[in-house]
Structure 1
Amino acid sequence: MSDPVGPQAAPLDASVDALSDVLDMIHLRGEALTSVRAAGGTEVRHAPGERALHLVEEGPVELVVDEGTRLRLGRGDMALLATGTAHRLRAVEGDASWMSGRFLVEESAASPLLASLPEVIVLRGAEPGLEWLPLSAGLLAAEIADPSAGSRAMASRLLDLLFIKALRAWSDADGAGGSPGWLTAALDRSLGPALWAIHRHPEQPWTVEELAGLASLSRAAFAARFTRLAGDPPARYLARLRLARAADRIATTTEPVGAIGKALGYESEAAFSRAFAREYGTAPRDWRAARKAPE
């Protein structure tokens, strides 16, 4: 008599998820959720550098980007401005209300990465496939209306969720036609296993042949697709990733510079310091000192 079959656990497949590693690297964190109620004609301005998300509860609301783009948002719509473009929201006809969230990131890592995104990503709440949007908005509204223990943490995680969902929706709709960059490549399904491997083990001396095998592509097809979406050939991408990881560890830990370079695949501290200075314009120790200096 055979033993009864127990429940089968299906673990989350992380091998296609380079995006999570990218978001970890930029230290994305939702912050400062606010609720706005505005009379007709009232404007709320958001300064340059503010990475923001807006959810319209009652509209219409006009979103105006300082570069000139004007968008009308209705009830249930969401706009993500991940690049930090200055903008303003205005109640168009009578009273309007919306929720706004702000995101904090490690700017030195995030600025080049998020630059591949459009200035505004708009999701229309009434579109099919976005059933998660009104549910998330309802949860945020409930936390604002009746805050209690854990509200700040819950709001932060919901904002993170909306940020990621917006990136996925943009990638699916755009068909990977956005500007080349780390984020564009990370959102591409076919490159997922190779990017995941690079991000998990940047210290490894990856070859194009090895990475192409992980992506189930020929060497030529992989190299062409990678360069088109990432904006850099695989070797250059790996070098930049190593240095971005190094910059983060130099700024946030007290590890010796030489140990950081060795852990990320550099044969000597001198080689690491030269590569770091070429990328960031300063030596690793000067980079650390500048970030520890009082503002």
Structure 2
Amino acid sequence: MFEPGTQAYLARIAEVCGPAKPPRSLEERRDAFDRRGHVWWRPAPDTLEVRNWQIGLAGHEIPVRLYRRKGVEKPPVVLYLHGGGFVNGSIDSHDAVTWGLAEETGALVVSVQYRRPPESPYPAATDDCWSAFQWVLRTGHWLDADVSRVAVAGDSAGGCLAAALALQARDRQAPDLRLQMLLYPCLDTNTDRAVYETAKDPFVSRAGMRFYWEQYLQGRLDTTDPIAAPHQAKNLAGLAPAYVQTAEHDPLHEEGEEYAHRLKAAGVPVTLDRVPGTIHGLMRARFASEVCRAAFVRAAAALRNALA
């Protein structure tokens, strides 16, 4: 069913973490997510400088992690928004993805620790991502980066946030993004899609996605707000070019591919990359799977080319 590398990825997680159990609390859910991610974590190579920072705002701070190749001057910027169903995940859980993109692209990668629900429901996350984007644009000199070349990327819930940021950038007349990279994104609050019955992904279920949307939107799954759920956007014209990656066995592939087709119909340049034999979270499986590694390289190349 799954390609061999993905099978090996899952087998190692099962060996280390044991059988998956229904979480009894939010803390257990977050801990299980982090433990699965740590199984395939690898440290950043010595070719990169990695620095933690805080963006100061009125009332709170946004932690960010900055990755850059040593010796590179004025690199372009990738603003990265991590996945985890809005509720889980962090700059730590996605560290191996973000340092990998910095290594592959030569860009300054800014990984954002946005506020999470249920402690901080919508629009806290989108507000933090927008604030981080504005901070990048303001601090190009301090960052020693070329902030005329900025892309946004995100996986899963981070893909939702990246799509929302692209909508905000257009509607608020911000400087153009070079690319919106949406990696197996969740974009639609409708969890009644039939694909949830046929998909075989071990990490994404109808009940799980409904839980995440419920936490994020505090029960307002009937929202028509496109910043909350980009699938609701009526007008997609004029958005940044898009790279949309989906996984064959992930139920979210349907809404991601629908969004890609809608972007293309609206005149937005789109690359759609459906990765066969793989599951949700495939960017974190590249150390086990050649198929996922190749998909990672393609995604990085799309960023590199867009930022050239």
TM-score computed with the length of structure 1 as normaliser: 0.27
TM-score computed with the length of structure 2 as normaliser: 0.26
Task: From the CA coordinates, give the structure whose radius of gyration is larger.
Answer: 1
- Bigger share in helix: 1
